[in-house]
Amino acid sequence: MKYVCLRLALCAGICLGLAGRAAARQIDSSYANTYYQGRMELFNSLPLQKNAIVFLGNSITERGAWGELLPGVKVMNRGIGGDNTFGVLARLEGVVAASPRKLFLLIGINDLSRGLPKAVILRNYDRIISYIRRHSPKTKIYVQSVLPLNEPLTKAPYLKNKKDSILQLNAGIRQIADKYRLPYLNLHEIFADGHGDLKAELTADGIHLKPAGYVIWVAYLKARKYL
């Protein structure tokens, strides 16, 4: 399967380089489940759209009807439900092959839900951005913050007590964006209520956005001339 075969070795190498062999055994770097593989088969079967706008991330990205929200714009939705920073790293070859005009990156909540150290997540972020800049230097990268959760609405235990971790991760993501002099898009602040929770009217399950959320998202990007 094109663009998929190098994944496990790459991810294992990242873990070993970060924390040594003993620590790496405790890090869940898996991602290539059947859903991931099915999405990759779809991506690899599609014609390569050069100079498109790419939305890259997990289910929050995947659920966006970007083509309908941006009529007349060449868009590639490269969201995969359940994906994490390891999975994004492993599929970048197929993304940069299209030489995107712009790329909007949003990833990290699934890493946090597994309890991955923020240092590991941020190191992966750095590698993702470095890879894109090296292999598609004309692509304009937009680094987006992780969205808040509405924990009273979430059912899964692994999504509980993540408010502070999300804020800390976003602070680190912002530092990486600054390091590469890239725009940092604080989506957290537009989707959070006064308590820092994902606005209840914009979510049914506490993590994913309702369609109205994507309308707000696109309006935000347009208002700031990112689109």
Integer Cα distance of 219 and 202 in angstroms = 15
Rounded to whole angstroms, the maximal C-alpha distance in the chain is: 51
Tell me the residue type at 35.
Answer: Y
pLDDT at 33 exceeding the cut of 50: yes
Q: Supply the pLDDT for residue 30.
A: 86
Nearest CA-CA partner of 157 in 202, 114, 107: 114
Q: Which residue has the tokens 């992966």?
A: 124
Residues with Cβ within 8 Å of residue 152, at least 6 apart in sequence: 197, 206
Q: What is the pLDDT of residues 169-211, one digit of tens each?
A: 999 999 999 999 999 999 999 999 999 999 999 999 999 999 9
Whether 75 and 123 have beta carbons less than 8 Å apart is answered as: no
What does each C-alpha distance from 113 to 49, 53, 163 come to in angstroms? Answer: 33, 28, 11
Confidence category of residue 152, pLDDT binned at 50, 70, 90: very high
The full set of domains in the chain, from first to last, is 7-223 (3.40.50.1110)
Query: What six digits make up the tokens of 125?
Result: 């972020």
What percentage of the chain reaches a pLDDT higher than 70? 89
Residues with Cβ within 8 Å of residue 46, at least 6 apart in sequence: none
Integer Cα distance of 17 and 126 in angstroms = 14
Nearest CA-CA partner of 38 in 91, 89, 75: 91
Q: What is the pLDDT of residues 65-121, one digit of tens each?
A: 999 999 999 999 999 999 999 999 999 999 999 999 999 999 999 999 999 999 999
If one counts every other C-beta atom within 10 angstroms of the C-beta of residue 158, the result is 12
Q: What is the pLDDT of residues 201-226, one digit of tens each?
A: 999 999 999 999 999 999 999 999 99
What separation, in Å, do the N-terminal and C-terminal C-alpha atoms of the chain show? Answer: 33
The pTM of this model reads 0.88
